Amino acid sequence: MEKLFLILLLLSSCSLLVSSANASAIFIFGDSVFDAGNNHFNKNCSAQADFPPYGSSFFHRPTGSFTNGRTVADFISQFLGIEFQKPFLEAQLAVVNGSRKDYPSNGINFASAGSGVLQATNPDWGVISIQQQLRQFQALIQQNQIDKNLVQNSLFLVESGSIDIFNYFLPYDTPTLDPGAFVQAMLTEVGDLIDQIYKLGARRIALFSPGPVGCIPARALLPGAPVDKCFGKMNLMVKKYNKGLESLVTDMPIKYPGAASLM
């Protein structure tokens, strides 16, 4: 399954909020595309990338990131001239054991590989759901561990959904929803997440759209999936999901005054 994450990483598409060129912090939520080591610090989690060749081309050692090099969040940080964000669980450990006084001021990475936008996606792997990631962030705000002004000027990166759609086609879990209703349920969750992030003070939100998940090699293992071409049914769901994300983003400035968003 680890290979799957690596490939999903390459498929995710992105663009950058130009107005955030002066942001000094980034808060990150999502799956393996962004996970910088939360799963590594979560010993209960079976989705791990803490072995070679992960990390080989940039850090020259496995860091817990699901890529050989930097994540998109790392590249954006470099572009902004700020340090890479630490995994929340690493920062928390350091604050709890006294080796750090405060949480980092350049943002925090909450992403957990293998998680989806639906809570029902992969709980048996011990992943941190995106809803739980947001509760971790919320707790820090409530404990005044993160400055509210910092939050307002920070960039928020949200990327999730590939794993839910991939899992929809797994043989041992007959879906109760048809593909359209399943995608709608995902979009409802994303809408709720945006709503919560905004209420916690975020004003610059970048939603990342999953790439053509139906083209990853692992799709060939699924029942009914073609081996010699992409899995059309899966890509159709991704397309619908991305269309839904697009309208969420279009509606955001109307629904949420003062918010800038893009995908």
CA distance 121 to 110: 17
* Nearest one of 72, 179, 50, 188 to 119, comparing CA atoms: 188
Question: Which helix (H) or strand (E) covers residue 256, if one does?
Answer: none
Measure CA 256 to chain center: 22
Alpha helices (H) along the chain: 2-11, 72-80, 88-96, 130-142, 148-153, 162-168, 179-199, 232-255
| Contacting range for ligand NAG; rule: CB under 6 A; set: 86-94, 103-111, 188-196, 242-250 | 86-94
CA distance 197 to 137: 9
Residue 54: which residues within 8 A CB-CB, separation 6 or more?
6, 62, 63, 64, 65, 66, 67, 68
Measure CA 81 to chain center: 22
Q: How far is the CB of 241 from ligand NAG (least distance, A)?
A: 27
Binds ligand NAG (CB under 6 A): choice among 69, 126, 191, 201: 126
Binds ligand NAG (CB under 6 A): choice among 31, 90, 164, 189: 90
Count the site residues for ligand NAG by CB under 6 A.
12
Residue 120 in the binding site for ligand NAG (CB under 6 A)? no
Q: Token digits for 60?
A: 């020259």
Q: How far is the CB of 75 from ligand NAG (least distance, A)?
A: 19
Binds ligand NAG (CB under 6 A): choice among 9, 23, 113, 252: 23
Measure CA 181 to chain center: 22
| Contacting range for ligand NAG; rule: CB under 6 A; set: 7-15, 16-24, 105-113, 228-236 | 16-24
- Amino acid at residue number 216: I
Mark 42-71 with x for binding to ligand NAG (rule: CB under 6 A) and - for no binding: --x---------------------------
Q: How far is the CB of 179 from ligand NAG (least distance, A)?
A: 28
* Tokens 């990475």 sit on residue: 109
Using CB under 6 A as the binding rule, the residues of this chain from 136 to 175 that contact ligand NAG are 153
Q: How far is the CB of 191 from ligand NAG (least distance, A)?
A: 27
Looking at the Cβ atoms of 68 and 153, the one nearer to ligand NAG is 153
Residue 124 in the binding site for ligand NAG (CB under 6 A)? yes
CA distance 242 to 260: 18
Q: How far is the CB of 111 from ligand NAG (least distance, A)?
A: 17
Binds ligand NAG (CB under 6 A): choice among 22, 143, 174, 176: 22
Looking at the Cβ atoms of 149 and 178, the one nearer to ligand NAG is 149
Q: How far is the CB of 230 from ligand NAG (least distance, A)?
A: 32
Looking at the Cβ atoms of 167 and 235, the one nearer to ligand NAG is 167
CA distance 29 to 101: 24
Residues near ligand NAG (CB under 6 A)? 22-24, 44, 90, 93-94, 97, 99, 124, 126, 153
